[in-house]
Chains A and B, each alone.
Chain A
């Protein structure tokens, strides 16, 4: 099993590199020069008179030389833990990205937890009560949630729960003065986590329902129903266990979606994560910052899929990652 994972990680590295090469190339297509774009006319005139000034600045931000050279410099820097400098904020990119990793990660974990906590039971109920009223209501709500843009859900959530009912705080990581208060941090996580998790919950609900029905068949369920509660529970457990694999697949597939969905959610809630940063970087035309974000996000996605593989082996003992499988 260990060997399999080592192999997986080794295979993931070229994908990661390919990802960075592709991103680098795409980002380099951005029109304009990020350095020159930040200079006022007097400074521009100065650099025309003294080109070395510009060269020095380019060197500092890794923007000199032909593209492959730039990429190589960037890559060697990354391996040593240096992501370069951001042209728009003039600070090391690690300082920009670092503090935002945990907020994004905690948001995704919260969203995944909500997605599972709501999605699986909803799917089970819908499957067991297939074509009944509960099924239609749950399926209906699910479709509405998938079809409504997340920023609409977010805005509604802020005003219903945050402002009108006053149950939950609105935006940001913690209330000032309570950084160490775990309950406070969790309470700040609830609204954005719920909003981000809605899409995932709906998706998981559909998958759970479908695969429960698949693995069990409705006849099986009807028989179990007639037989009574205890055997129904056994049936549900059995169906759920088989449904785990597709659910884990959905979760792994969900990771990029969550990171993507986080862009909108983080904007609506002023959540200081990587999604918010990516919008800032795109607007500011800051290539190195975007590269840094894509790198971190790419790693996160690959890690997520490896964890998903781990989940498979836990969920289904029949799957053994041995040589030759």
Chain B
């Protein structure tokens, strides 16, 4: 193995079993993982509510109502009114939308960037590879939230900025994964044999890398979604995330810094906190289940 210093490829074995059998096997293992199934159900429910409920019911997260300021749950307001009289339930639903978009959006960004960089490093090799890997180390050396805060002060607040910025900070794990896969693929004997016979590199990559990388990559992506959602909430809580009046679950918790809101007016912030926890929990469970299902040997690593 000629793995460069400090980098362990995530999977050291190349599997050549047929795709379909592999997926079916994984699905079965996943189904057996109780918590993962619960997580899947929870997440699906949340997505359905967040996406479809506003289309059916009139849920306006922005409509203020002088008569509903700080009012507890009542007729017409499932979770009461917030400090400006807006409907808390509507804001939770729309805030969940924002969290989901932020989480999955950021995931798409960091998977894309990470894959590109990992492919580049793996295929180019030599100096380019070393350079890119050092670059990865540097990004990893900076605490994520710090780097994100710096980026946000450049890009300005807003959902688009948040997604881009989180993506720009989370790609190293993906890049290392992809690069590791590529490297171990290179070493595998059958690949050398296939090359001798004349099979093009691209086919080898497609046929063999993807099934091998799919598992670990899904796990990394899923856990990245969970982290991204938490970071978006933290940024909004600090006032650096989504711009008002766009609802954000993190931003709904900011008023809880007031003792009266925290202790007496619980409906204003607790639903948002629970919503974040539920979404992130379900994603984490799904991630756990995926990890066990797709790579049962890897339960000591994350």
A149–B234 CB distance below 8 A: yes
Q: CB of A55 within 8 A of chain B?
A: no
Is B67 in contact with chain A by the CB < 8 A criterion?
no
Q: Which B245-302 residues have C-beta < 8 A from chain A?
A: 250, 253, 256-257, 259, 262-263, 273, 276-278, 280-281, 284-285, 299-300
Interface presence of A163 (CB below 8 A): yes
From the candidates A19, A143, A144, A213, name the one contacting B142 in the complex (CB within 8 A). A19
Taking the complex as formed, is A166 at the interface, i.e. its CB lies under 8 A from any CB of chain B?
A: no
Residue of B145, B226, B281 with most chain A CB atoms under a 10 A cut-off = B145
**Contacts A159-B262, A264-B238, A279-B238 known; A285 to B153 CB distance under 8 Å?**
yes
- 8 Å CB contact of A18 from B138, B153, B259: B138
From residue A64, how far is it (CB to closest CB) to chain B in Å? 21
Q: B57 contacts the other chain (Cβ, under 8 Å)?
A: no
Q: Which B124-140 residues have a C-beta within 8 angstroms of A?
A: 134-135, 137-140
Contact between chains at A23 and B253 (CB < 8 Å) = no
Bound-state CA distance A290–B153 (Å) is 11
Among B134, B154, B278, B284, contact of A31 (Cβ-Cβ < 8 Å): B154
B299 close to A210 (CB less than 8 A): yes
Given the known inter-chain contacts A15-B134, A147-B284, please indicate yes or no for A27 contacting B150, CB distance below 8 A.
yes
Interface centre among A210, A264, A293 (most CB of B within 10 A): A264
B191 to chain A, nearest CB (A): 29
Q: From A26, A147, A151, give the contact of B154 (CB < 8 A).
A: A26
Q: Check if B151 is an interface residue, CB within 8 A of chain A.
A: yes
Bound-complex Cα distance A259 to B146 (A): 8
Interface centre among A149, A211, A275, A293 (most CB of B within 10 A): A149
On chain B, the number of residues with a Cβ less than 8 Å from chain A's Cβ atoms is 42
**A149 CA / B253 CA spacing, docked (Å):** 10
Check B141 against A283 for contact (C-beta < 8 Å).
Answer: no
| Interface flag for A148 (CB, 8 Å) | yes
Q: B142 contacts A23, CB within 8 Å?
A: yes
Residue of A nearest to B261 (CB): A155
Interface residue? A36 (CB, 8 A):
no
Establish whether residues A149 and B281, one from each chain, have CB atoms under 8 Å apart when the complex forms: no
CA distance A164 to B240 in the complex (A): 30
Which A residue sits closest to B288, measured CB to CB? A143
Q: Are B299 and A259 in contact (CB under 8 A)?
A: no
Shortest C-beta distance, A196 to chain B (Å), equals 12
* B111 CB to nearest chain A CB (Å): 20
Q: Is B230 an interface residue (CB 8 A)?
A: yes
Say whether A148 contacts B259, CB under 8 Å: no
- Given A26-B154, A211-B300: A256 and B262 interface contact (C-beta under 8 Å): no
Residue A115 interfacial (CB < 8 Å): no
Q: How far is the CA of A45 from the CA of B273 in the complex (A)?
A: 49
Q: Closest chain B residue to A11 by CB distance?
A: B5
Q: Which residues of B contact A22 (CB under 8 A)?
A: 135, 138-139
**How far, in angstroms, from A190 to B96 measured CA to CA in the complex?**
33
Q: Which of A144, A151, A256, A267 contacts B253 (CB 8 A)?
A: A151
B149 touches A149 (CB 8 A): no
Interface residues of B in 46-88 (CB under 8 A from A): none
Question: Would you call A264 and B281 a contact (CB within 8 A)?
Answer: no
Check A282–B143 contact: CB distance below 8 A.
Answer: no
A159 touches B238 (CB 8 A): no
Q: Quick one: given A143-B281, A151-B237, A263-B149, are A210 and B300 in contact (CB under 8 Å)?
A: yes
Contact A155 B262 (CB under 8 A): yes
5 A-B residue pairings within 8 Å (CB atoms): A22-B138, A146-B280, A147-B277, A151-B253, A211-B300
10 closest A-B pairs (Cβ-Cβ)? Answer: A260-B145, A260-B143, A147-B280, A147-B281, A282-B153, A259-B143, A256-B143, A152-B273, A282-B149, A148-B277
Footprint of B on A, CB under 8 Å? 14-16, 18-19, 22-23, 26-27, 29-31, 143-144, 146-152, 155, 159, 163-164, 207, 210-211, 213-214, 246, 256-257, 259-261, 263-264, 267-268, 275, 278-279, 282-283, 285, 290, 293-294, 297-298, 301-302
